Amino acid sequence: MISTGSFSAAARELGYTQSGVSQQVAALERLVGASLFDRPGGPRPVRLTDIGEAFLPHADAVIARLHAAESDVAALATGQVGSLRVGVLQSVGARVLPGLLSRFLESWPGVEAHITPALEPRHLLVGVERGELDLAFVNLPLPPGPFLTRHLFHDPYVFVTSTSSELAGRDHVSLEDIARLPLIGWRADADHAQIVDLFTGLPHRPRFPYRFDDNPTLQGCVAAGLAHALLPWLTLDPDHPGTRLIPVVPPVQPRHLVAVWHEDMHQTAPAAAFLDAAADSLNNLEVAGP
């Protein structure tokens, strides 16, 4: 009305009827509790009252915020901005996450990725169940819960020994041979039990004089000759100068790494893209396995 000088001209410019514009102005003035426009009638143009002049900057600010809100909503709907909360185990964090995160953020620069590390899968599953995590990378089996999964990686178990050990020259080693050796394992009972279960049915039961939470510490102790280990390949540094990774023949059942999310949560575009990127990264790792 200010630039056009009349309600009828403003209505034509905005694509409304004149009565529609008049009704909206009347409603706004009722809300403000004062007259915003001076309507002299006849050929004289409509002008703002003093109160209207004072109100105009606030109206412009509200309109600008509404346009900004529309842009934010559109960006969120398309996944251009937002946040992604991902839980990872040690092995995924060390071997996969740095390259994966860099690759993801190149394609989704507006998304804030929040990474939660954990030593045991159960801690991450609690986060998924409570809605605190959008995705988590854990190994099977899963306890009962509201979980959906996607397979990511068959992680083979390998024998780990010191480069100074007489076993370091072997091309492969059997599970029966490993059962006779002192081993280093994990402190987490569930993960440790999975390794112990691999020896079920053998005449010898493995001994674990040392157990640790930290994968690099565990591999360092093997390098120092304290004992040997049977561990998933992804948990190890294959370039560690003090250890040698030797295939187990015949192979034992691998560790199954999966992505988990809550069955009632909508998977956003960034979460789906992160999951696809993780699967691709792990597929490339699988080719480089022992």
136 membership: H or E segment, kind and range: strand 135-139
Distance in angstroms between the alpha carbons of the first and the last residue of the chain: 75
Q: What is the DSSP letter of 6?
A: S
pLDDT of residue 289: 39
pLDDT of residue 287: 38
Query: Domains in the chain, please, with CATH?
Result: 7-78 (1.10.10.10), 82-154+256-287 (3.40.190.10), 157-253 (3.40.190.10)
pTM (global) more than 0.85: no
Which residues are within 8 A (CB) of 105 and not within 5 positions of it... i.e. 6 or more apart? Answer: 111, 113
pLDDT of residue 162: 97
CB 221 within 8 A of CB 212: yes
275 membership: H or E segment, kind and range: helix 269-287
> Could you list the mean pLDDT of each consecutive 10-residue stretch along the chain, which spans 290 residues?
68 78 82 83 80 78 55 49 87 86 92 90 91 94 93 94 95 95 90 91 91 92 96 92 95 94 90 93 63
- Please tell me the distance from the alpha carbon of residue 6 to that of residue 44, in angstroms, as a whole number: 9
pLDDT of residue 68: 47
pLDDT of residue 290: 42
pLDDT of residue 288: 38
